[in-house]
Structure 1
Amino acid sequence: MSTLSKRQFLKTMVGATTLTAGQWSGLTEALASAGQRPAAELARDDDFWLKIRALYPVTNEFTQLENGYYSLAARPVLEGYLQHIQQVNAVSSYYMRTRQFSDKRLAQEQLAQLLGCSTDELIITRNTTESLDTVISGLTWKAGDEVVMAQQDYGAMLDMFRQQARRYGTVNRLVSLPNHPQSDDEIVRLYEQAITPKTRMLMVCHLVNITGQILPVRKITEMAHQHGVEVLVDGAHAFAHLAFSIADLGGCDYYASSLHKWLGTPLGAGILYVRRDKIAPVWPLFADSSVPDTDIRKLNHTGTHPVATDLAIQDAIRFHTSIGIDRKEARLRYLQHYWTDQVRKHPNITLNTPETPARSCAIANVGIAGKTPAELAKVLFDRYRIFTVAIDNANVRGVRVTPHLYTTTAELDTFVRALTELAG
């Protein structure tokens, strides 16, 4: 039985719906109204971004300011995803045995292009945690090997290194990041001072999830490499949020991100980049003897999984690239400063995010004197119907606030009013 062409395959879909062009035409019309205006100017045009908001299924039940965990998929992406489910279901195992891997390769190629790496250095995973754990668990550790990381790193990654310490006798050396660094050198020195002759790896966040602080990854990587230390970058919140390529990060050895945060895919998609010369030493979690040790596909043997999510990645990339990363980053940074600039000087309000624009983008963290983070998150939702998340660890006490492209300045005005009322 020969493999169907894509056109023939689509014709075989029994009961599959046809994705209307309406949602995509809405995006085209909105972008046409933007013209050739600079990203910084367009970032302030609420009328334009209201047109973009109309392309998202935004709830009316509350104001969503916790988009950093999982952001909405745009309507064209969501409808494409539902269609993929129907199409695959219509022929089931036939698709899985004939088109699954070639279609996934197309998404992989597009993601590699966005990241600026070779397709043979990137795989599609389920999320950042899986990606980073693939590396951490896949390396051969010995007792006494040291790893440098920050208290502000993602909890699941700290847990994974704690497990390696219990299992192999490795040593974790933790630093604590200042919420308001004075310079890149201050951050670089902090990590460098923790390095010893036994240090084997340094894990660093591209963008700290609890505060939104952007770290100088390139400078940290170059410093670590001078000491012969590998660099593992947690980019969960940076990919499709900030304009960068892997080359901008100083030759980091490993990079991981989630696609359901800022690229806007359905849940269940992430990426792992492994620099070509670092692939061979990493053992796969699930054995695959069909590819050589130097082939990154050895790390991607996940068994049968929901392929519709992989297919929807291409839809999400189309939506993302149509808007453009420069426009996206400029709008997200504008929204964050729109509200933080209004409350930063309030005596009873503490911002745990750097003020300098280059050191943060969409995400910020705010606390109010006399209220625990949990109390603040609860009252914001109960009284004002504003959803945030409480953060109360690693020198950060407040709620994380994450607007997205569909967030309006009117919603942020309500949030600012709520903060000032609660702060007295």
Structure 2
Amino acid sequence: MSTLSKRQFLKSIVGATTLSVGDWPDLNEALAQVRHVSSAELATKEDFWATIRTAYPVTNDFIQLENGYYSLAAQPVMDSYLQHIRDINSVSSYYMRTRQFSDKRESQTKLAALLGCSPDELIITRNTTESLDTVIGGLPWKAGDEAVMAEQDYGAMLDMFRLQARRHGIVNRVISLPNHPKSDAEIVNLYEKAITSKTRLLMVCHMVNITGQILPVRQIVEMAHKHNVEVLVDGAHAFGQLAFTLPDLGGCDYYASSLHKWLGTPLGAGLLYVRKDKIEPLWPLFADSSVPDDDIRKLNHTGTHPVATDLAIQDAIKFHEGIGIERKEARLRYLQRYWTDRVRNNPNILLNTSETPTRSCAIANVGVKGKAPAELAKLLFDRYKIFTVAIDGANVHGVRVTPHLYTTTAELDQFVKALKELAG
């Protein structure tokens, strides 16, 4: 191994990440030039965002407007990730037995700081589905217990609640969210009317994945807690896209997100927050007798898994913080409004996303009269090389459109042109 001490050797491999936006001189210079520019003004500066685009390996084969499922990791993040894989592979089990858990703890600590919670209340998972399932499947349900959710929630989560109904005899009360609510109170009241004396848990999306609607989570949490109902928040699309911390949400009991969507981590990482006093009652999905019942690590027994992804979380956070969440949110909302404002009044184009700016950010959903969502998605790709995803259910009929920081207004101009042509 050479004459390096154990401490020096460990330090020389993957323990510490050094990536920063400044490692890319063009980005460093661009950021320095806009240091005093407001986020709202910067959102409109195409030259600045063109520089940001150069940090992403964007394809030229089609226009990518389906970034909500899995968005590109920036090239500096990907380069670091690949180096982590090489470094770990070079020492294999030595790393796994000496550094794996302390490095994961560092990634966990940085995520907790972003989310605004204690590292002892957060674990790294594979994705939002795993995180939410850990709670839904881990609660000590009794026959007759009730759960409240919306038909617009992610399908896998609705499936998990159905499974608990089969297994434990719980009752699922499902509401339907309006695409164009008149007020926050309208949304809160819908959830409240579904609560009974038997309601144990309320699941709510921070941002509805099929329409991009941002829900009034704080008001819903405060309402539910008045009824002694716990709240599980699906934050798959909010973390890394919206500027917030957990205290802004009124003290939700559980929060889950994926890191490969808006934080820009390579595939295979998510997070789960469990409020400290809610940890002990949860049953882990995989047993680990070495961890006390009130320690969140009991929920994180993963076995052997690709640890380079855990390390890349730190790289993604550095890149994310280099740009800044306020700048990201402002630009993403600007891009969505850039195209939706141009088609909203077309009688043959149907927008399934609210026109109120604060009710959405990057994601929107659009349909064309006379065309099924699957047909519309196919026409957009086959004729115009624009990639979207069809949504056809839960009162939402259209394609989901999700630009990212590397999306240009010129690409959105092409999308608007395509929509208008298809709408006749």
Q: Secondary structure at the match of 2:197?
A: coil
Q: Secondary structure at the match of 1:257?
A: strand
* CA–CA distance in structure 2, aligned partners of residues 417 and 276 of structure 1: 51
In the TM superposition, what whole-angstrom CA distance separates every residue of 1:201-228 from its partner, at most 9, and x where no partner exists? 1000000000000000000000000001
User: Which residue does the alignment assign to 1:233?
Assistant: 233
* CA–CA distance in structure 2, aligned partners of residues 332 and 393 of structure 1: 25
After superposition, the CA RMSD in angstroms is 1.7
- Kept in 2: contact 1:133–1:157 (CA 8 A): yes
Q: Secondary structure at the match of 1:392?
A: strand
**CA 1:248 to 1:406, structure 2 compared with 1: closer, same or farther past 3 Å?**
same
Q: Secondary structure at the match of 2:194?
A: coil
Tell me the CA shift for residue 10 of structure 1. Answer: 5.4
* CA–CA distance in structure 1, aligned partners of residues 233 and 20 of structure 2: 39
Q: Secondary structure at the match of 1:272?
A: strand
User: Which residue does the alignment assign to 2:255?
Assistant: 255
In the TM superposition, what whole-angstrom CA distance separates every residue of 1:148-192 from its partner, at most 9, and x where no partner exists? 000000000000000000111100000000000000000000000
User: Which residue does the alignment assign to 1:177?
Assistant: 177
Tell me the CA shift for residue 28 of structure 1. Answer: 1.2
Q: Which amino acid aligns with 2:9?
A: Q
- Kept in 2: contact 1:381–1:387 (CA 8 A): yes
**CA 1:231 to 1:153, structure 2 compared with 1: closer, same or farther past 3 Å?**
same
Uncovered stretches (5+) of structure 1, i.e. residues with no partner? none
User: Which residue does the alignment assign to 1:371?
Assistant: 371
User: Which residue does the alignment assign to 1:4?
Assistant: 6
- Kept in 2: contact 1:66–1:402 (CA 8 A): yes
Matched, 1:40 2:40: yes
**CA 1:259 to 1:134, structure 2 compared with 1: closer, same or farther past 3 Å?**
same
* CA–CA distance in structure 2, aligned partners of residues 216 and 20 of structure 1: 34
- Kept in 1: contact 2:207–2:235 (CA 8 A): yes
* CA–CA distance in structure 1, aligned partners of residues 194 and 6 of structure 2: 56
- Kept in 2: contact 1:3–1:98 (CA 8 A): no
Tell me the CA shift for residue 351 of structure 1. Answer: 0.3
Tell me the CA shift for residue 22 of structure 1. Answer: 8.2
- Kept in 2: contact 1:116–1:246 (CA 8 A): yes
* CA–CA distance in structure 1, aligned partners of residues 292 and 132 of structure 2: 21
Tell me the CA shift for residue 9 of structure 1. Answer: 2.6
Uncovered stretches (5+) of structure 2, i.e. residues with no partner? none
Tell me the CA shift for residue 32 of structure 1. Answer: 1.5
TM-score, normalised on structure 1?
0.96
Q: Which amino acid aligns with 1:32?
A: A
* CA–CA distance in structure 1, aligned partners of residues 19 and 419 of structure 2: 42
Tell me the CA shift for residue 45 of structure 1. Answer: 0.1
In the TM superposition, what whole-angstrom CA distance separates every residue of 1:279-317 from its partner, at most 9, and x where no partner exists? 000011111111211110110110000000000000000
* CA–CA distance in structure 2, aligned partners of residues 366 and 257 of structure 1: 25
The aligned runs of 1:110-259 (5 Å cut-off) are 110-259=110-259
* CA–CA distance in structure 1, aligned partners of residues 29 and 99 of structure 2: 33
Tell me the CA shift for residue 3 of structure 1. Answer: 8.7
In the TM superposition, what whole-angstrom CA distance separates every residue of 1:356-395 from its partner, at most 9, and x where no partner exists? 1100000000000000000000000000000000000000
Q: Report the count of equivalent residues.
A: 419
- Kept in 2: contact 1:43–1:334 (CA 8 A): yes
* CA–CA distance in structure 1, aligned partners of residues 385 and 260 of structure 2: 24
**CA 1:297 to 1:417, structure 2 compared with 1: closer, same or farther past 3 Å?**
same
TM-score, normalised on structure 2?
0.96
* CA–CA distance in structure 2, aligned partners of residues 154 and 256 of structure 1: 13
* CA–CA distance in structure 1, aligned partners of residues 158 and 144 of structure 2: 17
**CA 1:280 to 1:410, structure 2 compared with 1: closer, same or farther past 3 Å?**
same
Q: Percent identity?
A: 77
Q: Which amino acid aligns with 1:8?
A: F
After the TM superposition, list the runs of 4 or more consecutive aligned residues in structure 1 that deviate by more than 2 angstroms.
Answer: 1-5, 7-13, 18-27
**CA 1:222 to 1:3, structure 2 compared with 1: closer, same or farther past 3 Å?**
farther
- Kept in 1: contact 2:19–2:315 (CA 8 A): no
In the TM superposition, what whole-angstrom CA distance separates every residue of 1:127-154 from its partner, at most 9, and x where no partner exists? 0000000011111111110000000000
Q: Secondary structure at the match of 1:138?
A: coil
- Kept in 2: contact 1:148–1:195 (CA 8 A): yes
The aligned runs of 1:12-161 (5 Å cut-off) are 23-161=23-161
Matched, 1:347 2:343: no
* CA–CA distance in structure 1, aligned partners of residues 6 and 130 of structure 2: 33
* CA–CA distance in structure 2, aligned partners of residues 78 and 54 of structure 1: 14
* CA–CA distance in structure 1, aligned partners of residues 13 and 144 of structure 2: 58
- Kept in 2: contact 1:146–1:200 (CA 8 A): yes
* CA–CA distance in structure 2, aligned partners of residues 155 and 68 of structure 1: 15
User: Which residue does the alignment assign to 2:380?
Assistant: 380
User: Which residue does the alignment assign to 1:423?
Assistant: 423
* CA–CA distance in structure 2, aligned partners of residues 19 and 272 of structure 1: 25
Tell me the CA shift for residue 24 of structure 1. Answer: 3.0
In the TM superposition, what whole-angstrom CA distance separates every residue of 1:38-90 from its partner, at most 9, and x where no partner exists? 00000000000000000000000000000000000001000000000000000
